[in-house]
Structure 1
C-alpha cells in the first residue's frame, strides 16, 4: 500500500487574541492518497479553511500551528524553511480560494498572474509560459484566451475569475489541489459549471483534491471519503456511502436530516443554537448544547475518539442506525 500524499495527525491551530488564546483547529487527522477526492464539510466557523491554510503555510503570525505529523509527498512541512516551503506551494500543492475577486491581484493582468507561478517553479521560456497560459484558459473553458490574458480581474465576471483561479492552480501540474468552497460567490448555474469543470479536470489529470464545501449533494456524488468538522474539531470521518447510510456522530446525522430530499414534513429540520466561540465553549462535548442525545456526561467530560467501525466519531454515545449506543457511557 502506497504512502498517502498528504498525511496529518493531531493538527491544531491556536490564535492569540486580546481575550486569550483561541483554538480554531483542534486535533484534526487526515490522509489523502494520490488521485483521491476527500470532502471536508461543516458549518461556517468549524475550522475547515483554517486547517487547510495551515497546510499551505498561509496563516498570519498570530497563529501557532502544531501537529504530531504534517507531511506532504513524504516531506515534513513543519520542518521546512520558508524558502523550501515556497518551492512546494504553488507547484506540487496548490489552492483555489473562496473569493476569486479578492484573491486575484487587481493591479496585474490575468496573464501576468498565471505566468508568474510558472516563472517561479518551471524552467520555461517567456514564449513557452505564454503558450501554456493560453492552453490553461482553453482548458478551463474561457473563450478568446489571448485577449482574456490581457484583461485585469475587474474586467472578468465572477465565474470567469474562478476559472482563472482554477487555471492558476493547474499551471504547474500539482499533485494535490485544495479547493476552498470554490463556488461560494457564484450564482447557481455558474456553480454547477465550475464544479463540473473542477471534477472533470481532477479525473482527467489524476490530481488529488481536497474539496471544502457546504453542498452535501456534491459530496454524495463525487467524494470517496468525507470529514465532518464542528467548532474546530473533526467529529467524524467515513467513506461517503457509509456516512450517508449510517452517520455515527449526532452532528453528522443532524446535517443530513436537514437535506431537502430527506425532509418528511413541510419544514426542514434545523439544528438549534450556534457554533460555540471563544467565550462560550462547553466543558465537555462541544456539540452537547445543541445535541438532542446529550447526557450529563456529554456536558462535563470531553468525548473520546471512537474507532473506524464507528466513523472515528468524537462522541460518548455514537449513533448506530440512528440510535445512541448508551452502553458507551459505562465504559
Structure 2
C-alpha cells in the first residue's frame, strides 16, 4: 500500500447558518486515505460523518461554510481548484454511493438513463459504447438480466437492486476513491452481506480506495484497514482496525464497543447515557465529558488535544491505556 495519501484532509470544518447563529457540524477533522485502503468512519447519527464527505464532494447547500488547512486529492488542491475543474474530478475520480438508494435515484428516469448520464458527462464514449458500458456495469454489480433492467424505473427494483444500481453509477467512470455512505442501511442481512462482498471485490479488482461510513461495527471489523471514530463533529480516535477493536483508547470508542449486542450481560444491552451535544448545549471542555464515566474536572473545562499515534490520536485528557480487549477481530 502506498505511503502517499490519495486523500489528505487537515482541519476540516463545516458550519451551517441557522437562526440562532451558526452550528459547526464538523470541527477540525483530519483524514488521510491511501490508495487501495479501506477507511471506515463510525459514530452516532449527528457526528458529522456524512457532512464531512459531502464537503469533499462539494455537495453541501449554500448555507454551509467549509474551511480547512488542507484538502488535497492526489496532489490537487480541492480548496483552490476552479469549479469547472472540480466538476471534471468529482463523479469521475471521486464518486459517492449515497444513503437510501430508493430516494437517491430519480423516479422519472430509467436506471440505464441515469447511469448513462454519468458516462456522458465524464467520458468520450459514443452512444453505442455508453449503452454497452451501462449493461456491463449492471452485470458487474450482480444484477440479473442486465439488458432488460436497463429500461427499468427505480420503483420497479427492490432495495438491494437499487443499491447495486447506485454502486454501478458510482463505478461508471472507474473512480480512484469511492465513498460509500451507509451502503447497507435498510437492507436485510443477506443483502447487506452481498453488497459488502461486492464492494470488497470491486476494490480488489480495480485498486480504488474506499471510505466506508457506517454504524455497523461488525462490517468495520470484517472490511476496514483503518477506523476513524467521530463524535459531535470531531474525530476522537484513529487507528488500525485490529488494534482499535482490541485496544480502544478513547472512552467513547470503548463505550461503542461495549454497546455491541454480543457483549450484552445477562441479556441486557449496555447503553451510553445522555445525548450527543447539539448547537446550544456544547460543553466547554471535552464534548464527551457529560457522558463519560472517566471524566474529571479538567475534562469538563479544557478542550483536549490529540494524543500521539501510540494512543490512537485519542482526543482525550485521560486516554485508556492497556485496557482488556473488548472485542476479538473475526478470523
Report the TM-score range of the alignment, normalised by the length of the smaller protein. over 0.9
TM-aligned CA deviation for residue 80 of structure 1? 1.2
Tell me, in whole angstroms, the C-alpha distance in 1 between the residues paired with 2:201 and 2:94: 19
Report the counterpart of residue 250 of structure 1 in structure 2. 251
* Whole-angstrom CA distance in 2 between matches of 1:74 and 1:6: 8
Match status 1:143 vs 2:163: no
TM-fit CA distance, 1:304: 1.2
- Residue aligned with 1:70, SS: strand
- Taking the aligned partners of 2:219 and 2:192, their CA distance within structure 1 comes to 11
**After TM superposition, what 4+ stretches of structure 1 lie above 4 angstroms from structure 2?**
none
- Cα deviation code 1:152-191 (max 9, x no counterpart): 1111111100000000011000000000001112222211
> What is the 5 A alignment of 1:286-297?
286-297=287-298
CA deviations over 1:5-63 (Å, ceiling 9, x no partner): 00000100010000111000001011101100000000000000000000000000000
Deviations 1:40-95 (A, max 9, x none): 00000000000000000000000000000001111101111221111001100000
Structure 2 counterpart of 1:32:
33
In structure 1, the partner of 2:51 is 50
SS of residue in 2 equivalent to 1:292: coil
Structure 2 length as normaliser, TM-score?
0.96
Q: Give the gaps of 5 or more residues in structure 2.
A: 325-331
Counterparts of 1:240 and 1:273 in 2: how far apart (Å)? 27
CA distance in 2, matches of 1:259, 1:288: 21
Aligned mates of 2:266, 2:204 — CA distance in 1: 38
Counterpart for residue 268 of structure 2:
267
Are 1:14 and 1:64, in contact at CA under 8 Å, matched by a contact in 2? yes
Structure 1, unaligned stretches of length 5 or more? 324-331
- Tell me the equivalent position of 1:124: 125
Q: Distance in 1 between matches of 2:266 and 2:244?
A: 23
Alpha-carbon distance in 1 for matches of 2:224, 2:3: 20
C-alpha contact (below 8 Å) 1:285/1:299 kept by paired residues: yes
Per the alignment, residue 174 of structure 2 pairs with 173
Q: How do 1:1-331 residues align onto structure 2 when only pairs under 5 Å count?
A: 2-322=3-323
Aligned length: 323
Cα distance in 1 between the residues matched to 2:193 and 2:251: 30
Please name the residue that 1:328 is paired with. none
1:167 partner SS: helix
Structure 1 residue 200, shift from structure 2 partner: 1.4
C-alpha displacement of 1:261: 2.6
SS state at 2:79 partner: helix
Q: CA deviation at 1:2?
A: 4.4
User: Which whole-Å CA distance do the structure 1 matches of 2:277 and 2:125 have between them?
Assistant: 49
8 Å contact kept, 1:14–1:65 = yes
Q: How far, CA to CA, are the matches of 1:233 and 1:293 in structure 2?
A: 19
Residues 78-136 of structure 1: per-residue CA shift (max 9 Å, x gap): 11122111100110000000111221111111111101111111110111101111011
1:301-328 CA-to-partner distances (Å, cap 9, x unmatched) read 11111110110000001001239xxxxx
TM-score between both structures, scaled by the size of structure 1: 0.96
Distance 1:282 1:187 in 2: 38
Residues 271-309 of structure 1 show CA distances to partners (whole Å, capped at 9, x for unaligned) of 001101001111110000000000111011111111101
Give 1:263 shift: 3.2
